[in-house]
């Protein structure tokens, strides 16, 4: 049974999410602040973490950064804030997905299942070499000029999919389906994670030469 940690300061919302997730078959438990959530996760790591952005003390953005610093656990933001800036900032902090309140529990449960399937599933296939970038799906490693590149699970799945189709353009929707396991979703997920990948594999992320954009079509990893 997958464990879900709900970091939410509103007692009613936290309890409602915990009860709804338990109805969906999860082992859910809560924390009323980022500090409490970080402590609980360190003591008993969750399989998924839900984080509200508007928390007392440490806010949700810093909570995500600290979670991501220690772990590659799937993180989903649950927030009433639906401004593009907030969504992008949360994803850049290290979140894997973003769900706007009020939360539809069936949709949230489906996303959590997709994230867990993706984190457990192997990508298979031989190592892919794209210039001085080597992606070994079976070993779970990415090396740039012989040096290991530290990636989150989402970043790793994304680069594996791009490497598997190196030299070909993949649309944002194709990447959502293959790297996130979503039939539909917010394409900003792809854009932000591509930006995070570029920070780690490009000499000049503002002028990428390895992971390039084809305007109106999608992204391509150069061979």
Whether residues 23 and 108 share a domain: the answer is yes
Q: Is the pLDDT of residue 121 over 70?
A: no
CATH number at residue 109: 3.40.50.2300
Residue among 156, 172, 162 nearest 221 (CA):
162
Are 113 and 72 members of one domain? yes
Q: Residue 162: give the domain boundaries.
A: 128-221
Tally: H helices and E strands in the chain = 8, 11
Mean pLDDT, the chain, rounded, equals: 91
pLDDT single digits (tens) 163-196: 999 999 999 999 999 888 888 778 999 999 999 9
DSSP string across 84-148: HHHHHHHHHHT-SEEEESSP-HHHHHHHHHHHHHHHHS---S--EEETTEEEETTTTEEEETTEE
pTM: 0.82
**How many domains does the structure of the chain reveal?**
2
């Amino acid at each position: 049974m997958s464990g879900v940690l709900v970091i939410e300061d509103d007692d009613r919302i936290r309890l409602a999410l915990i009860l709804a997730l338990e109805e969906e078959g999860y082992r859910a438990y809560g924390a009323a602040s980022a500090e409490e959530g970080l402590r609980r996760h360190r003591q008993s790591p969750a399989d998924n973490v839900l984080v509200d952005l508007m928390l007392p003390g440490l806010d949700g953005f810093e909570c995500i950064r600290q979670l991501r610093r220690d772990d590659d656990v799937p993180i989903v933001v649950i927030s009433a804030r639906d401004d593009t800036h907030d969504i992008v900032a949360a994803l850049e902090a290290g979140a894997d997905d973003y769900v706007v309140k009020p939360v539809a529990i069936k949709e949230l449960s489906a996303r959590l299942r997709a994230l867990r399937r993706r984190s457990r599933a192997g990508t298979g296939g031989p190592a892919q070499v794209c210039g001085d970038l080597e992606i070994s799906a079976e070993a779970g490693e990415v090396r740039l000029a012989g040096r290991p590149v530290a990636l989150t699970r989402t970043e790793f799945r994304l680069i594996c999919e791009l490497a598997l189709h190196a030299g070909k353009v993949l649309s944002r929707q194709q990447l959502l389906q293959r790297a996130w396991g979503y039939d539909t979703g917010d394409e900003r997920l792809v854009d932000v994670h591509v930006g995070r990948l570029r920070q780690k594999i490009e000499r000049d992320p503002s002028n990428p030469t390895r992971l390039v954009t084809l305007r109106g079509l999608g992204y391509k990893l150069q061979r």
